Structure 1
Amino acid sequence: MEIPHLVREHLGDEAIEASVSLGDEDVVCVTPSRALVYRGEGLLSDESVSTYSLDLERFDISEGRRKTKFLFEYVDGTDTFTVPASRADSLLTLLLQAVLRIDGVIGPDESLTGVYQFSELTLVVAESRLVKHIGSTVWDPDFEVYDYDDVTGLDFEEGSVATQIVLTVGGRPQRIKAPNDQAPEVEQTLVQTLCTYHDVSSLDELQQTLAPEEEPTADDGETDSPSSASGDFGLEEGISPLVGDDAGASGEPGDAADSQTEATRSSAAGDRQRAPSTTSDRSHEATREPETPATDETSPEPTRSSAASTDPSIDPADIEAIQEQLAALTKVVRRQNELLEKHDASIETHDERIEQLIDELRRGR
């Protein structure tokens, strides 16, 4: 793109880093500290250059159907200029990149790979960090920065309406919601930027690179065998028998244990004798089938469609006539919508010409 001579006269010692054509001869040139808006010769005006400083307090945009207004708020006032809506996205990235460099949020040579807006959230993907700003404006001092060196995880959780970008920073997950219609583009930009930063080629490699290394634990070593786990103690050392020497003072040591075992066997035998009756009762109850009312399988309930088809009060000719009327009305409505759209486009074109004339008159041309 050829830079107009009048723009070069306003550059001074600065160089143009990027420019965006606005159509016809109009162009916006961005330097490290300013935005130069060039307007070509118009109906009532000569060519002109307006200069806007990017060292600002707040930065915002106002989007219309065909025009987008950029608003720069300074300590001592506010400046604005308007561009076609189709050029707004690319210009927004260039302007916000210069603003972040001036504020020291990104490096002096660092570039932005993507800028996204979701309601009151602005998400800026830079080469070395992710910047998140929440507020009614696109940019002001209220923002958060996540350096890629501190990122230890990246995941995406898709929902019915929005997708959550889960960015783990310093062991803590940071969740960012993106509408599902914009989420794939955000995901692709963020993954590609992180892959480039870490010099990998896929999301799987990136996740492996970001995953923190786990420190070895005691479980990772060799487990001791049962014999070694008991240490120097054998089965016969340090363990007292369950039955002491004086347990069978009136007889042999095992007499008490034998009598207890016999009592247990007798109790179990009694339980087994009572169990069959209980089991049989439950089995008898389980085999009972619930009584169901008899149904006539040969007389199924008529469906709504069959009832409608056999209803003598509905005339097929009336249904066909109604369908023809609906088709005719549909054509009329579509035609009216087309005429309304053409009328709206004509009004917008007329409004643009009026705005251009007013703008030129304000500049005294």
Structure 2
Amino acid sequence: MEIPDLVREELGDEEVQAGVSLGDEDIVCFTPSRTLVYRGEGLLSDEGVEAFPHEFERLSVSEGRRKATFSLAYVDTKREFSVPVKRSEGVLERLLESSLSAAGVLDEEETVAGVYRFSELTLVVTSAQLLKHVGSVTWDGDFEQFAFEAVTGLEFEEGSVATAIVLSVDGRPERIKAPSNKAPSLRRTLQQALFAYHDVSSLDALNEKVGEDEDSESDVSGLGLDAGIDPLVGDDEAAAEGTEASGPDESGWEPTDSADAGASGSGTDGDFAALEAQVEELAELVEQQNEQLQRQEKVIKQLIAELRQGR
């Protein structure tokens, strides 16, 4: 794409990182700090270029039949520019990428793979994370980040009206609903980005690679009584109790209390030490369970707070 002379004059020491053609001679150019909107000379207007700094606080996008208007709100002013609707998606991707890079949200090598707007939900898929914004405006500072390095699972629940994307991050599921007619594109973009990040080629391979160890989780939540800890009553004692409960054996003799006491008297100290060790192990597991409950309590409190904020 050829850069007009008027844009080159406006660049100064900066370079054009990306551009979107708007048709005819009109183009939108993106530098690290500004978006430059160039209009070629026409019957009703002269040649010109407008610069829009990327330090805006809020971005709104409204679409008509032919044009999409981008409204950028700064601390003390609001500015707008319009582009053909069919070019708006490319402009929005590059504009958000430039803004997020300038704000330090994206790393130097991180790029935007796709931007999706569903009513009051905007999703930005990058090469390293998923960004989620909920609100009447397209974008502002109130957004959530889900880093691909912390992803522990990805699932899709398809419905007749919407598809639910279940992205688990650090074991906590994040459910995102997308209209069924637009969900395939989002699914494809998100999968491709995650597959590339984790160097896998399928959804099954991704979940196998990033999935948490369910066995270790169940051991903690279930107090681990089936993993490495014997029951408090030993096998010999259980057998003796079972025989006593069922009455005399075939020889007609019952194992009496006095006989048991005489036979096991010498091993009392050893049995007590073993029991004490088992109790200590159980106490350790109970403490782990308490820690897990505290973490869950924090998550619940955070969820309640977010629901109150309307997220």
Q: Same fold (TM over 0.5)?
A: yes
Q: 1:155 matched to which residue of 2?
A: 155
Q: 1:74 matched to which residue of 2?
A: 74
| Cα deviation code 1:196-242 (max 9, x no counterpart) | 00001111101111211243767467x99xxxx62377659983774
**Matches of 1:135 and 1:200, distance apart in 2:** 34
SS class of match (1:2) = coil
Runs of 5+ unmatched residues, structure 1: 244-252, 254-365
**Matches of 2:153 and 2:241, distance apart in 1:** 54
- 2:47 is aligned with what amino acid? E
Displacement of 1:45 in angstroms is 3.2
Q: 2:244 matched to which residue of 1?
A: 239
Q: How does 1:1-150 map to 2 (within 5 A)?
A: 1-150=1-150
**Matches of 1:176 and 1:240, distance apart in 2:** 58
Q: 1:200 matched to which residue of 2?
A: 200
Q: How does 1:262-277 map to 2 (within 5 A)?
A: none
**Matches of 2:7 and 2:72, distance apart in 1:** 20
Displacement of 1:46 in angstroms is 2.8
Q: Is the 8 A contact 2:171 2:212 kept in 1?
A: no
The number of equivalent residue pairs is 241
**Matches of 1:43 and 1:236, distance apart in 2:** 103
TM-score normalized by the length of structure 2: 0.72
| Cα deviation code 1:115-167 (max 9, x no counterpart) | 00000000110111110000011111111111112111110111121010011
Distance 1:194 1:242, change over 3 A: same
Is 1:191 the counterpart of 2:220? The answer is: no
Distance 1:232 1:112, change over 3 A: same
Displacement of 1:182 in angstroms is 0.4
Is 1:230 the counterpart of 2:235? The answer is: yes
Q: 2:178 matched to which residue of 1?
A: 178
Distance 1:188 1:236, change over 3 A: closer
Q: 2:280 matched to which residue of 1?
A: none
Runs of 5+ unmatched residues, structure 2: 254-311
For the pair shown, which has the larger CA radius of gyration, 1 or 2?
1
- 1:164 is aligned with what amino acid? A
The RMSD of aligned alpha carbons is 2.6
- 1:111 is aligned with what amino acid? T
SS class of match (2:138) = coil
| Cα deviation code 1:297-328 (max 9, x no counterpart) | xxxxxxxxxxxxxxxxxxxxxxxxxxxxxxxx
**Matches of 1:130 and 1:241, distance apart in 2:** 64
Distance 1:208 1:45, change over 3 A: same
- 1:19 is aligned with what amino acid? G
Displacement of 1:172 in angstroms is 1.5
**Matches of 1:62 and 1:48, distance apart in 2:** 24
Displacement of 1:72 in angstroms is 0.6
**Matches of 1:236 and 1:90, distance apart in 2:** 77
SS class of match (1:239) = helix
SS class of match (2:13) = coil
**Matches of 2:83 and 2:116, distance apart in 1:** 19
